[in-house]
Amino acid sequence: MEKFDVIVVGAGPSGNAAAYTLAKAGLSVLQLERGEAAGSKNVQGAILYSDALEKVIPNFRDDAPLERHIIEQRMWVLDDESFIGTHFRSDDFNKPPYNRYTIIRAKFDKWFSKKVQEAGALIISETTVKELLRDKSGKVVGVETDRADGKVYADVVIMADGVNSTLARKAGFRPELDPKHVALAVKEIHFMPRETVEQRFNIKDDEGVVIEMLGKITQGMMGTGFLYTNSDSISIGVGCMLSDFMEQKLTPYDLLEQMKRHPSIQPLIQGGEMKEYTAHLIPEGGYHAIPRVYGDGWMIVGDSGMFVNAVHREGSNLAMTTGRMAAETIIELHRAGKPMSEANLALYKERLDDSFVMKDLKKYKDMPDIFHSNNQFFTTYPELLSRSAYTMLKVDGVDKLTKEKEIFASFKERRSLFGLLGDAFKLWRAFR
């Protein structure tokens, strides 16, 4: 009977962070991945938040495939013809060590996987874990894969198998996916010469710009769009709650096509050669959707545990952090000669509660419900904001006080005074 200290299921950021940390500490680790290689099944925007990776591989900048470091963040609220927004650009973001990078996940995951292998873990790809193996007491003791003689055993199994987490659902550790708790996102990469990217975004060398978008691009559904600069390509995508897609009978493909035609977006991607189109779910249910993440012989990390901060578009960093924390918990117990029991693994949850992961998710715990039931934030307000800016900036002989009154009247007409106050209160609750 083949037995390891730990089995890690999945080779995304959470599984790689866990497997690397464990193998580096000298534990015997088996990592199983259903794709033909790490990254082949993974989708992301993608922004890499360096802090989370630095805590796993401090010198990652030496050879990781990084595209551009981000020096400017734009936030756009769009109606059909315009956008109103903020741009924050800082030279502080242009000084090494850089804080955020754009990456291409297929390349990045392969690099990370090589590091895991070098650290000493055994990685077997093209292998799907079918289910968890349990002993008579219900303790998880290993996994069954789709290979012949596919049973493998370990003291503890880490489920890093992404948003669908069939394993945890099958075992009854996690409920079925609620369409209100997941976004369906689509993404394309448009290739163009490096110089074109740099001219269009007023950047040079490896500097990068990201644009986060919301408003009428999602046609009243709860969701956001994004556009990120890579070295010689642009990633563009949009995602909305799965339940909204089901209700509105719209396809994510249609939404992205329409977004690309927006007069403020189209010139940024013009002439690019589209080489990659992908779709993926993102767990956006927030704090209330997080399941139990540990038990007798098992732990859940990353998207499988619904660890995504949708407000700040952070997912991979929460994945790497939860992966690392699960690994550190196991290492501590292993060194102390303690069993991987539910009571001992509770230390993982304590660590999570004490970290930015749970603190941030708790802060925005009401956000998903509030935005989901108030689609005026994605329709009426973007339009009103845009019209207000247009009215104030158009020089047409009308005095500014009259314009201000017109703007206020248009807000009252669309939302009523009571509605406006109510919305302000909801926003305060969502972000407090």
Q: Tell me the pairing of strands 207-215 and 68-78.
A: parallel
Residue of 254, 277, 275, 258 lying closest to 266 (CA atoms):
258
**Residue 308: CB atoms within 10 Å:** 26
- Give residues 311-330 in contact with ligand FAD (rule: CB under 6 A): 313-317, 319
Distance CA 343, CA 347 (A): 8
Query: Of 295 and 315, which has the nearer Cβ to ligand FAD?
Result: 315
In the complex, least distance from residue 167 CB atom to ligand FAD, rounded to whole angstroms: 6
Residues 350 and 373 sit within 8 Å (Cβ to Cβ): no
11 binds ligand FAD (CB under 6 A): yes
Distance CA 356, CA 375 (A): 29
Query: Of 79 and 252, which has the nearer Cβ to ligand FAD?
Result: 252
In the complex, least distance from residue 359 CB atom to ligand FAD, rounded to whole angstroms: 17
**Residue 159: CB atoms within 10 Å:** 31
In the complex, least distance from residue 101 CB atom to ligand FAD, rounded to whole angstroms: 10
Determine the size of the site formed for ligand FAD (CB under 6 A). Answer: 41
Query: Of 79 and 244, which has the nearer Cβ to ligand FAD?
Result: 244
Q: Candidates 4, 6, 7, 15: give the one binding ligand FAD (CB under 6 A).
A: 15
**Residue 219: CB atoms within 10 Å:** 18
Distance CA 105, CA 12 (A): 9
SS (H, E, C) 61-106: HHCCCCCEEEEEEEEEEECCCCEEEEEEECHHHHCCCCCEEECCHH
Q: Candidates 33, 198, 244, 328: give the one binding ligand FAD (CB under 6 A).
A: 33
- Give residues 164-193 in contact with ligand FAD (rule: CB under 6 A): 166-167, 185, 187
- Give residues 113-142 in contact with ligand FAD (rule: CB under 6 A): 128-129
Residues 8 and 31 sit within 8 Å (Cβ to Cβ): yes
In the complex, least distance from residue 223 CB atom to ligand FAD, rounded to whole angstroms: 11
Q: Candidates 42, 374, 380, 388: give the one binding ligand FAD (CB under 6 A).
A: 42
- To the nearest 10°, report the CA torsion of 299, 317, 427, 412: -130
47 binds ligand FAD (CB under 6 A): yes
Query: Of 41 and 139, which has the nearer Cβ to ligand FAD?
Result: 41
Q: Candidates 139, 280, 334, 387: give the one binding ligand FAD (CB under 6 A).
A: 280
Q: Which residues here bind ligand FAD, judged by CB under 6 A? A: 9-15, 32-35, 41-47, 128-129, 160-162, 166-167, 185, 187, 237, 239, 280, 282, 302-304, 308, 313-317, 319
